[in-house]
Amino acid sequence: MQNFDHVERGWQAVDRTGGKIGTIEEIGANYFVVSKGLIFTKDIYIPVSRVTATDPGEGMVRIDVDKDQLDGMGWDQPPLGTGMAADTDTAYGTTDDSAYATSTASTSYAAPETAASYDTSRTANVDDSVRVSLHEEQLRAGTVKEQTGEVVVTKNVVEEQQTIDVPVTREQVEVKRFAVDRPADASDISDTDTIRVPVSAERVEVSKDARVVEEIEISKHAVTGTQRVSDTVRREEVNVEQDGDVTLADDSNLSSAKRRR
């Protein structure tokens, strides 16, 4: 087994590609305790058997797994027997790292029920920061053309009584009598003497003519107006609470985000 006595607290642990995992906070028997994450921190217990290289100049240890595989290695709890002497291999129960549950192991590591639990849903693949997405609903409105009614134009025949004055001419017989005194012949006297004077008059004849007296033009055009609609939309807001001796560096972005809404 390699000697890792030169490894010190505060060194950085990196994965096999050089990706930063976290800072070594404790050095135990055959394992390193690495604090992973900045906001949602989590301790992981890396077996020394998985260390492939150390660099004292850089203060760094390299392990043989990728950091995105750490959550599946079962290294989120102290190994069995950590309370035993540091110079024995029984601190892990064996001389290798089989006390941990790996992706290919047939048995899984049974953590004590009293061990602290961690929320890994917020710490996976987190180095120094975590970004929380806030969602909101936005109200959008569109238009759909539909028939709302119709205009029906029909023609009906309406009868009405119409009266007009028509000038007519008729003949009228006028008889005038004049007193005269002149000589006459006896033969001029007749027993019967009839004079017929024809009299005529105009008669009104009624006829009807059909004529176009009015035209109606039917057309339609679009008129644009404004209709106000409203609905309920939802959005997410973040609530930052301080527990203990914690100082927020700058909450101006959070305040501006709330004011912007």
Query: pLDDT band at residue 91, thresholds of 50, 70 and 90?
Result: very low
- Answer with the residue of higher pLDDT: 19 or 93: 19
Q: What is the mean pLDDT of the chain?
A: 76
CB 88 within 8 A of CB 80: no
Q: Side chain identity at 209, as an amino acid letter? A: D
Quote the tokens at residue 9: 């607290």
Q: Is 99 exposed, middle or buried (0-12, 13-18, 19+ CB in 10 A)?
A: buried
- Tens-digit pLDDT profile for residues 153-203: 999 999 999 999 999 999 999 999 999 988 888 777 777 778 888 999 999
pTM tops 0.75, yes or no: no
Rounded Cα distance between 135 and 237, Å, is 8
